[in-house]
Every structure is written in C-alpha cells, then in structure tokens.
Amino acid sequence: MYDEILYPTDGSDGADAALEHALTLATAMDATLRVLYVVDTTYLGSGAAEGTTVESLRAASEEVVAETVETVVDRGVEATGEVREGEPYREILADAEEAGVDAVVMGTHGRRGLDRYLLGSVTEKVVRTADVPVLTVRLAEEG
C-alpha cells in the first residue's frame, strides 16, 4: 500500500515527534522513508540582517537530513534524504509528486510559532492540498 513515505522535517521538536510515527508506518509497510528539509527562502529578508544566508541555512539543513537518515537506517528502514529551497508547503507538495510518494507524515508544529497563526501553517496547507494521505502528529504537551 505504501512503498515510499515522505517525512518533511525542519529539525524542530514538532517534526521530531512525527519521526517515530513515520518509522512505525515505514516498518509496517516495508517502505522507504524519504527525509525532506525545505530551506524557507521566503523569510530571508529579515534573517539576512542577522547574518543568516541561504548557504548557512542549507548547511544546517543538510546536517539535520544526514542525522535523520542515519537514525532511520539504524532502525532498519531504508531512507533517502533531500534538501530543497523555497516556500515549504509548495516544496513538500512538489517533492511528494516528483518522488511519487504514497503518504506524508509530518508534525503539526514547526519552527514558526506565531507566524503559523498569521500566515497559516505549513502542515495545514499540505493537508488541504496534497494528493496523497497526510498523517499529522501533534507535539505532546509537557506536564
């Protein structure tokens, strides 16, 4: 049923919460897990003043992808990794289509915080517009 599952991550706790679910699904379905990090180039105008560049963001994202792929492979699941640049939800959808994935597993909370409420969450946009099933995972409340 699922041969390839897309796991978008931004290295946040919210994304990490979804990894266990992605691994469980991939293991149960004997599927490959595709790890994707999208460098959000839509917000670089404000970050550039603080010394943030596409190159530094890409380097950090490649490290997150490499570590995640290593974790997945260590758990006995075949994995691939990809870093893309652009608007996250659009790149997630494009990657899902180009790679022909069968499902997406992602967290509901990423790095954006308040922006999520003002602009709409990446996860919400993916859920509304994806052509494949999307499993969303909430970050557990501490308590």
Residue 141's Cβ-count burial label (10 Å; 0-12, 13-18, 19+) is exposed
pLDDT in tens, 97-108: 999 999 999 998
Domain boundaries, the chain: 4-137
HSE at residue 101, side-chain half, CA atoms within 13 A, is 28
Global pTM value: 0.87
Judged against a pLDDT cut of 50, whether residue 141 lies above it is answered with: yes
Class in CATH terms, 4-137: alpha beta
Which position has the higher pLDDT, 118 or 138? 138
